[in-house]
Homo-oligomer: A and B are copies of this chain.
């Protein structure tokens, strides 16, 4: 069965190009997104909720207009491997998730998905065959209503200038941006660290 407008093998190739490698999570994610789209009214102008930040967001970005930078995809990280597509006006939609009660039938898939076997000891070839042949068999679809008014606001249009760094930033109570308050991991560069790139 195809994934979006791709055959399985074509999609694997597209995953390599976009994601950097044939990650099982993105390939399975393609099946999740595909199932959700096939069960959504074509009249919906839809947004997406992704419940993990691992792999699955890239499948959504590859197969729908919902991207992290246009605000049509939100990541609400509970770790659940699920996608919800819903009409952005009324909130009606579908949620597709990997159903843990269904995965045990497929040993290599289950070893990977439930992290039962260290990555190096997983049989990658059999895992890919499980995904190709049974990826859809481990999914469950729910019809859902998204409480669109309760979603975290994505339309912040307020910006200010930080009193310390003088950059445009999100407003804070103190007038000092979150980075200058400590939410940063960068400092001015000093000498070469000695790595081959310096």
Seen from chain A, the residues whose Cβ lies within 8 Å of a Cβ on chain B are 18-20, 23, 26, 29, 41, 43-44, 49, 51, 53-59, 61, 65, 67-72, 75-82, 84, 86-87, 89-93, 95, 97-101, 113-115, 119, 142-148, 150-151, 154, 156-159, 161-162, 165-170, 177-179, 183-190, 192-198
Closest beta carbon of chain B to A10's beta carbon, Å: 18
Contact among B95, B185, B187 for A151, CB-based, below 8 A? B185
Apart from A79-B159, A90-B193, what are 18 other A-B pairs with CB-CB below 8 Å?
A19-B67, A19-B70, A23-B70, A53-B71, A57-B69, A58-B69, A61-B68, A80-B177, A84-B186, A87-B197, A91-B193, A92-B192, A93-B189, A115-B158, A144-B187, A145-B190, A148-B185, A151-B185
- For the residues of A in contact with B, the DSSP-based class is loop
Most buried by B among A43, A51, A89, A101: A51
Contacting pair A69 B91 (CB below 8 A): no
In the A-B complex, the 4 residue pairs with the smallest Cβ-Cβ separation, listed nearest first, are A58-B69, A79-B170, A143-B189, A57-B69
Contacting pair B69 A168 (CB below 8 A): no
Copies in the assembly, this chain:
2
- Residues of chain B within 8 A (CB-CB) of A99 are 167
- Residues of chain B within 8 A (CB-CB) of A76 are 183-185
